[in-house]
Amino acid sequence: MRNAVMVKWLWLSLLAIILDQVSKLAVAGSMQLYESIELMPFFKLTYVHNTGAAFSFLSEAGGWQRWFFAGLALVISTVIAVWLTRLKQHETLLAVALALILGGAIGNLIDRLAYGYVIDFLDVYYGTWHWPAFNIADSAITLGVALMLAESFGLGRSQQPDTL
């Protein structure tokens, strides 16, 4: 590894994985499948299994999607890990974003390999409209992508001129 200074952010990946897995085990251990617990007028804990990807994409595909999404997560996780090792010291926001995405990807990968589905339980809604249920790993991925976008628009960059 040439410049592995930014791998120090892997603690954030580990934190995302731990929070994700502990929360999923708590939900699976204390709730029945499809059970909902209202916490606020717009938020419930609703225990569901997602055999697909985001928004249950390919959830009815017959089972092959488990291995497809697991393989995809492995490839993406490897690419992100290598990318982290190649970041420069001033690319902190990008390192944080990548670490969050990595942690989320691994959190959901653990579910796919262990159960064949991802445990989702965070249910945001308004009236009869429901956002698809999600979990801590999904939240880490979403936050990581948002931070990556913000970084691409210049947030977090130092005012030093780029060197060739």
What are the residue numbers of the active site? 120, 138
**Calpha distance 102→9 (Å, rounded):** 11
Q: Which residues of 27-59 are buried (b: 16+ CB within 10 A; e: fewer)?
A: bbeeeeeeebeeeeeeebbbbbbbbbbeebeee
**Calpha distance 7→99 (Å, rounded):** 9
Sole residue written with tokens 């569901």 = 48
**Calpha distance 145→103 (Å, rounded):** 12
- Token code pair at residue 102: 């990595």
**Calpha distance 98→106 (Å, rounded):** 12
Backbone angles phi, psi at 123, to 5 degrees: -125, 105
